[in-house]
Structure 1
């Protein structure tokens, strides 16, 4: 049975197409990771937060411009250290009114409903790292709204390689966790707006 000419042409060009397809710089390959100190790339590091609103829908906002450091050694991954700072004052949402509400002062000198106009940066500092394959459990202390509480991150190594623009060796880490905002003194509108806040963290660390 003869194949149609179009299929024969496609079969002939397939190897050329495969050769010309660019490779994504970051690969989930731990052998690419080099021991040393890394700094977060603020332009490509984000923390998304999610709360339930009135039991109807989940609402999502973002913290950007994340900074921080990562110290790691592939030969001893459990000795890794993470120290990340989150500029709460740069919180953003899809609603200008809600963003303003998060950052506005309290009425008549009262405590702000949420963060207030000049909130201190939040900070997470790891205390232990338990690595299993490409995943890790990171225990640490989160300071938010002037209160420090222990938090556990379920983390994952997402890729390593050289950034094609600045040529820096980069390691990507993603993580999730859940905190209770009331633990950090943010209790406005409970329980209409959920106490549970889901956090999704994506940080690109560049080698110093």
Structure 2
């Protein structure tokens, strides 16, 4: 009887671990964009992409409050689509990428939104070693199977931040303090290598 109970307990633990693992997704940097845009004296709205995102999502549609996200953005992947602007944004006037080479967002709370595919994600954004709370309005675009049958999800998100809160105040107000963030991402559950790939 004791052996049977131990066997059942081990089986339940294995199932629980497998379910937890199946809810953990790896971000796909090739299908992730973090776009920042701002007002330039009312004349234009430049933008920059923070590429090369690395991170994980934990997502369970049946228990969204247990979900989480942790993403690191290397500033080496910053691209403002104009070489001189890209170079300037990496200097001490703005991100000071040589001193602080990454930005990071780590969630602290995930809540269900007004509809099944809407979420509100609260987290800590760290830029230039300054951490401030940020709220993302998130849309679940799709959950299904990706190439090879691995579970896959795709999200869009938006937020607004004040760059001065992160110590990036150069040229305010001729360039706006307020910065809009637009994010689109895909993430896939990592698959164990097959015997042929080992």
Give the TM bin, normalised by the shorter chain: 0.7 to 0.9
TM (normalized to structure 2)? 0.80
> Which of the residues 55, 69, 80 maps onto 1:82?
69
Cα distance in structure 2, aligned partners of 1:67 and 1:171? 16
Indicate if the aligned counterparts of 2:109 and 2:122 stay in contact, CA closer than 8 A.
Answer: yes
Root mean square deviation, CA, Å: 1.5
Cα distance in structure 2, aligned partners of 1:162 and 1:66? 21
Aligned pairs for 1:39-188 (under 5 A) are 39-104=26-91, 112-118=92-98, 119-132=100-113, 133-164=116-147, 166-188=148-170
Indicate if the aligned counterparts of 1:35 and 1:72 stay in contact, CA closer than 8 A.
Answer: no
Cα distance in structure 2, aligned partners of 1:199 and 1:117? 19
TM (normalized to structure 1)? 0.76
Indicate if the aligned counterparts of 1:120 and 1:146 stay in contact, CA closer than 8 A.
Answer: no
Question: 5+ unaligned residues in a row in structure 2: which ranges?
Answer: 1-20, 191-198
Cα distance in structure 1, aligned partners of 2:137 and 2:179? 15
Indicate if the aligned counterparts of 2:22 and 2:189 stay in contact, CA closer than 8 A.
Answer: no
Cα distance in structure 2, aligned partners of 1:77 and 1:129? 6
Cα distance in structure 2, aligned partners of 1:147 and 1:72? 27
Cα distance in structure 2, aligned partners of 1:160 and 1:124? 22
Indicate if the aligned counterparts of 2:134 and 2:161 stay in contact, CA closer than 8 A.
Answer: yes
Larger Rg: 1
Cα distance in structure 1, aligned partners of 2:145 and 2:59? 17
Indicate if the aligned counterparts of 1:181 and 1:187 stay in contact, CA closer than 8 A.
Answer: yes
Aligned residues: 167
The residue that corresponds to 1:36 in the other structure is 23
Partner SS, residue 98 of structure 1:
helix
Cα distance in structure 2, aligned partners of 1:182 and 1:89? 22
